[in-house]
Structure 1
Amino acid sequence: MYVLQELKSELRINGELTEIVDALKVIAVTEFWSLEAHRRERFSRFLAAFEGFFQMLDFSTIEHPFARDTSGRLSLLILTSDERFMGGLNQEVVDTALAQAGAGAADLIVVGQQGADYLRTLGRRFERLPETITSRRPYEAANLARQHILAMAAERGAGRLLVVYPKPVSFLVQTVKTLPLLPCTELISLEKRELGKREAVLTPRTQVLVDSSPEALVQYLVDTWIAEKLLEVFEDSRQAELSARAVRLEESYQGLQDNRKKLVHSYHKTHHEALDKGMRDTFSAQVMRRR
């Protein structure tokens, strides 16, 4: 009877854990697809707005250190997660960052406790992006992160910043990506691509009134571009986190289901054995009384 009680208790615990894991998996899946639905539209609208700037104005003669300078100290921004059920994704992100050219002498900026713990075991010095930034809503966090990173870059003379982060290839597959954020090479490429469209948009009679100086406009565009790219990688990282978590939770769910089948089999087997033993003991007792 004691074994049966133990098996019944294990079945109850298994059922409760299965329900919890299934609920966590559903939450991760729902949040993943919800994030996927709205982010694509927002980023496409943002890119269209930026293209409009370069079609209207010529910034090719304006120099900005964060837009064109390729010299200076290298910084690596490493995005990892604080969440469990991530498999080896966090470690893969850190390993990819440390494998970059110049990583040995680079300044390391880490987001996420898991990445910080791993770097600590490797004996690498790093700086944590303050939780007062990462705990905010994504857009606010991206703007605060931009301010913090640019201030640090200006202070240390870091003209190059490489972001290393997880990105979902699909719902079931994640990869690690690198994004050169400083200098803004994507911004320069966009400017050159839109340069050829300017003549088609602006006729000789067209006049564009600009209230701010070209330098101030370039500063605004650089700041906005960096904040938007940070928002993009933050959301990519969040999606990869949700994807990895859902996959690991599904594996845990299947493991619990398999374990439940074994427990049910053991319970029924033990129950039948107990019944058989009880019947044999009863029969033996009756035989003994008849004698």
Structure 2
Amino acid sequence: MGKSNETTVMEFILLGFPGSLYLHISMFMLFLLMYILTVIGNMAIITLVMTDHRLRTPMYFFLCNLSFLEIWYTTASVPKTLAIFLGKSRTLSFPSCLLQMYFIFSFGCTEYFLLAVMAYDRYLAICHPLRYSSIMNNTLSTQLAIACWVCGFLVISIPAFLISRLSFCSLNVINHFYCNIDSWIVLSCTDTHTVETTAFIISVIVILGSCVITLLSYIYIISTILRIPSAKGQQKAFSTCSSHLAVLIIWYGSTFFLYVKPSAQSSLELTKIVNILNTIVTPLLNPFIYTLRNREVKEALCNVFHGA
């Protein structure tokens, strides 16, 4: 399309979800409740780890990082989604939309890296227990956490920059409840091959790369656990990583569909549905999984309630 026929799009409209007013109000109440529980649950995990000296270990240090990330990950999308359900403030300026996309995907990439580091931490704790304290010390755990955050935010700067250079001609309705890379690609009237290819390569590297680290860690973990002679010993060893394993299954189950695919031109409706699981349900479930399946966290919670 020639430049003379192009109009500059200064803002975008988030379509959200189709349905009646009653459905939107019901979804507003559900999303609001889930958001409040997500913030409270993850804040409780952070507070618990910071106040209980028995939880000041690398494993719970990474869990604190994960909980802090989940709060901001869901905050990047849910408040705007709530406004959309009420029929208000559906529009976002081009910079605001780009910024929302950048933060959501940066937090998502950081979570992949954190989950992989947590898997490596469990590998060291179970497969090399005698050397664990000397290897996974405070310095290394801090460096790994910082690396996760820095890499997560740096890697998304590449597609964000490419998207900022796209042209959008008259069409400005995003068929999603937040500014998504796929939606930008669908709306652009210029060649998006570079953006699609870059986004796909980054998705493969981040998702499959972190998955390989996690998978290898758990292969060694499971093989080590199976060599433990007593059933009680096996159960105790497995309990230290069962919560993390449950989170991994939920997280990777949804995100493999969302990002490891060659084209963004189809399945936007299905993508929106799966994104609810990814951006809202998973951050809500994480603190409950770690408290209900983790003996040390449950004991710390009991001490808090008994001491109150």
TM over 0.5: no
Q: TM-score range by the shorter chain?
A: under 0.3
Give the TM-score, by structure 2 length: 0.24
Larger radius of gyration: 1
Structure having the larger proportion of residues in helix: 2
Structure having the larger proportion of residues in strand: 1
| Greater RCO (CA < 8 Å, at least 6 residues apart) | 1
